[in-house]
Structure 1
Amino acid sequence: MDPKISYFKTFISATKTKSFSKAAKKLGVTQGTVSNHISALEKYFDAQLFLRTPEGVDLTPEGKILYEKAEKILDHINDAKQYMRILHEHPEGIVRIAASTTPGEHLLPSIISEYKKEFKDVDFNIEITDSEKCFKLLETGAVDIIAVGNIYDKSYENVVIGKDRLVLIVPPNHHLAKKGVAKLSDILKEDYIDREAGSGTREILMKALMDKGYSMMDLHIIMSLGSHSSIITAVSEGYGVSIVSEIPAKKAAEAGLVKIVPIEDLDLTRYLYLVKGRKPRNPSAVKSFWDFVNK
């Protein structure tokens, strides 16, 4: 078994005090523990380290070699701990994030902006993709953190960063816009513009439909697009209706591009999450950002 750092500390203390009993008292352990530590080191190095004398213990030639190296080893370890402590207080480097559209485009920018006011030496690489791919990137270690609207794997540590609602958007002159309210049965009759497979938005809609006894097959899907912005454009141009995040939908409605129509019989509320990988490439920066979000 490889020796522990505590064994070297015991060895150095015994060397300096020239006594196992004095070393035990200084370290706050039993004399038997000191003897076991020294015995483990002698077994590991296959060498006798001390000569027992009536006055106590003296180093053998092999022991003198280890003493010189052990002090340097512990010095290096203490230096490393100090540098790590400084790095934890002043993190630097890059945090890699994959994000689905809604949190990536509408929540992360403001969170990161606030974080960087305090931690200016940490930068972010952000890839926008669908929620399912975000989890695949996290699993392979390609990113450190993901921001998503759907949790595919609950074994990862996660934190809620926002609440979102999916809403029905229609062209401004659409009959449902004039009606001012819609039911699921109304949506099933319309040409529907879908999000691509793997998106959190689509997953939430699928679950809501299943709760009502329907599936995506019951929608009259005419096309699938990869972002809320492209769907909003398609809806505004009259190609169909769609269900998207309320965050970009509100901006589009304020610009007069679409109308938001409440759905009476479909609950599409969801949470948005940050999910942390198990082995980040830059642990100190990731921990700093994670702690900041969890404050």
Structure 2
Amino acid sequence: MGGYRGGVPLSPHLPELSALELLVDTARTGSIGAAARIHGISQQAASARLRGVEALVGAPLLLRSPRGSRLTESGTVLVEWAARLIDVAAEVDQGIATLRADRSERLRVAASMTVAEHLLPRWLITVRARQQTAGRSPTAVTLTATNSDRVAEAVRSGEADLGFVEGPTVPAGLRAQDVARDELVVVVAPSHPWTRRRAPLTAQELAATALVAREEGSGTRRVLEEALAAKGLRLTVPAVELTTSTGVREAVRAGSAPAVLSRLAAEGDLGAGRLAAVPVADLDLSRRLRAVWAGSSTPPAGAARDLLAVARSC
């Protein structure tokens, strides 16, 4: 049973906790055989384990006889110490169980606005349905909807267990898995002059247009800026900056400047004729939507992993 106390390595003579539990039960029952049954092992295995404890300690701990086993003086002292250690270990074990249960019963999610508005509701409904089918209690989910930069900050700081971001790169210091693909589309009001164009919009024209845009830090804004940068272009100062896709859509529908939106966010208005899409020549506006988390390369266990599996399959 290795470890550290105050930065000093524990002695290699410290027995395993399970062996100390066996010794304590032997002292309590007065029988190696009875203690073995408590631990679900054979008497021979129990006896061998106790001899191993004596070898580690360097002193006899039990006086064995056909009528049972009783402690030596050294054994009496060690059992007293071991009982205190076992009590503390039981408290730690219960605390770990509480942490695991708490993690499985609640899930803190931070998501970009596009994912939060258009994908997460369906994913969460699917997770809940699967949990109920499996006879498990539904997980309580808290959601923070914000831009991709703030999602990454929330996951890095531990304020969120799982995040969903947009953008061309994985946020620094986080693990990631792709969960979906999306594309950005240039949208205008149906009465806008661009709807009467015969040729696609050029990247240069788009870069030079003051758009209704998402704020700095949003995945949508970053994908657009990096796509233009790949062509040696820079987005001009926006006509207005808004913090939600809904706000951008409403501004464009009201006759404001054009915008670049996720197709997920625009498809309802495009289908109903409330917005019109304008094609752009030679500009890659596709993007990945990613789940991100902190720590090991394996996604967090429990509800977070359940949600990630649903997101990847939908």
Task: Give the TM-score of the pair, scaled to structure 1.
Answer: 0.76
Q: Contact 1:95–1:144 at 8 Å: present in 2 too? A: yes
CA distance in 1, matches of 2:180, 2:51: 57
2:125 is aligned to 113
1:260 aligned onto 2:277: yes
TM-fit CA distance, 1:29: 8.4
* CA gap 1:242/1:12 in 2 versus in 1, 3 angstroms: closer
Show CA shifts across 1:172-224 (max 9, x none).
Answer: 122221225322133245332221000001111111111000122xx252111
1:81 and 1:141 map into 2 onto residues whose CA distance is 18
With over 3 angstroms needed to count, the CA separation of the structure-2 counterparts of 1:202 and 1:52, relative to structure 1, is: same
Whole-Å separation in 1 of the counterparts to 2:191 and 2:287:
28
The code of the aligned residue for 2:278 comes to V
Are 1:10 and 1:37, in contact at CA under 8 Å, matched by a contact in 2?
A: no
Contact 2:176 2:290 in 1 (8 A): yes
Separation in structure 1 between the aligned mates of residue 261 and residue 88 of structure 2, nearest angstrom: 58
Amino acid at match of 2:119: L
Equivalent position to 1:10, from 19, 28, 51 = 19
Cα 1:250–1:139 change in 2 (3 A) is same
In 1, Cα distance between the equivalents of 2:289 and 2:18?
49
Once the two structures are TM-superposed, the CA of residue 57 in structure 1 deviates from its matched residue by 8.4
Partner residue, 1:231: 248
Higher mean alpha-carbon deviation, 176-185 vs 114-123, is at 176-185
Q: Which amino acid aligns with 2:203?
A: L
Q: Structure 2 counterpart of 1:26, which letter?
A: A
Query: CA-to-partner distance for each residue in 1:237-290, whole Å, 9 max, x for gaps?
Result: 2221111101111111122221011211100100111112339xx964334434
Q: Which residue matches 1:125?
A: 142
Q: CA RMSD in A?
A: 4.0
Question: Alpha-carbon deviation of 1:65?
Answer: 2.3
Q: What are structure 1's unaligned runs of at least 5 residues?
A: 40-48
Aligned residues: 277
Q: Could you tell me whether the CA contact under 8 Å between 1:249 and 1:260 is conserved in 2? A: no
- Supply the AA of the counterpart residue of 1:111: W
Task: State the alpha-carbon separation in 1 of the partners of residues 96 and 208 from structure 2.
Answer: 65
Alpha carbons 2:156, 2:173 under 8 Å: kept: no
Shift of 1:136: 1.2
| 2:71 aligned partner | 58
Contact 1:50–1:63 (CA under 8 A) maintained in structure 2: no
Identical aligned pairs, as a percentage? 20
Match of 1:162 in 2: 180
Runs (5+) with no aligned partner, structure 2: 1-8, 33-41, 132-136
How has the CA–CA distance of structure 1 residues 29 and 224 changed in structure 2, closer, same or farther, with 3 Å as cutoff?
farther
Identify the range of structure 1 (4-13 vs 104-113) with the bigger mean alpha-carbon deviation: 4-13
Q: Distance in 1 between matches of 2:312 and 2:252?
A: 37
**SS at the partner of 1:169?**
strand
Q: What SS does the corresponding residue of 2:127 show, helix, strand or coil?
A: helix
